[in-house]
Amino acid sequence: MPKTDTGDPDVTLSDGVVTLRPWTRDDARFFAEASADPAIRRYNGAHDREGRPARPPSTSDAEAIMDEFALNRQRFAETGIPTGVAFAITDARSGELVGCCGVDDWTKDEVAQFGYWIAPNGRGHGYATRSAIVLTRWLFELGAARVFMTIVAGNENSVAVARRAGFEYEGTMRSHSIWEGERCDLMWFAALKSEWQAPGQATRA
């Protein structure tokens, strides 16, 4: 279990450059439009058995997703387990929405998995790397012993983010996923609480 019995449903995280805050229904249009981006559809979201992505959500669909995010935060408040807690990534100075990150899973062995995406308007400014560092630090503060992310082989931008965020490459699961009918390898990157040191100033991602 995480070191705290209950969590803060309104938790906001920041390093002064990026801020990770709760999603709201007012963000639904941004979420829907970003979810239609080809790169985000390729590496995130639901896919069928042949690796074909689900249709992008409408604004109404995105509002329902925001409601689900709120429920996940409430469960976190009640249990202290952050599975499903999602953050809107924003520029800390302007408040501009640039992406999403969140906790995919937290196991009974205190192992956390997270994922993220950056919308086209936010790419190339270091938001992904900074968000990965901020989120990882928070997960370790909650009591995680290990934090990991999986990356589809060939997604070099995300590989670079993982390395800049201080994650170690642990290996590749061959033919572990599928995209548009073709098998894909999946790379594992992880950080251990006992050895991870938050990198210094994040660069570009």
CA distances to 30, 89, 114 from 157, in Å: 22, 18, 16
Domain housing 79: 13-147
Phi then psi dihedrals of residue 30, to 5 deg: -60, -45
Q: In b/e form, how buried is each residue of 26-56, taking b as 16+ CB within 10 angstroms?
A: ebbebbbbbbebeebbbbbeebeeeeebeeb
Q: What is the pLDDT of residue 176?
A: 87
What integer pLDDT is reported at residue 3 of this predicted model?
45
Would residue 49 count as lying in a domain?
Answer: yes
pLDDT, residue 47, reads: 82
Q: List all residues 6 or more positions away from 138 whose beta carbon is below 8 Å from its beta carbon.
A: 11, 13
Q: How many domains does the chain have?
A: 1
Residue 94 sits in a domain whose CATH number is 3.40.630.30
Question: What pLDDT sits at residue 24?
Answer: 97
Does residue 188 lie in a domain region?
no
Which percentage of the chain shows pLDDT scores above 90? 80
Residue with tokens 């086209």: 120
Tens of each residue's pLDDT in the chain, 205 residues: 454 446 788 999 999 999 999 999 999 999 999 999 999 988 887 788 887 888 899 999 999 999 999 999 999 999 999 999 999 999 999 999 999 999 999 999 999 999 999 999 999 999 999 999 999 999 999 999 999 999 999 999 999 999 999 999 999 999 988 887 789 999 999 999 999 988 864 433 3
Residue 204 is assigned to a structural domain of this protein: no
pTM: 0.91
- Residue 78 placed within a domain: yes
Q: Would 73 be classed as within a structural domain?
A: yes
Within a domain: 161: no
- Give domain status of residue 183, yes or no: no
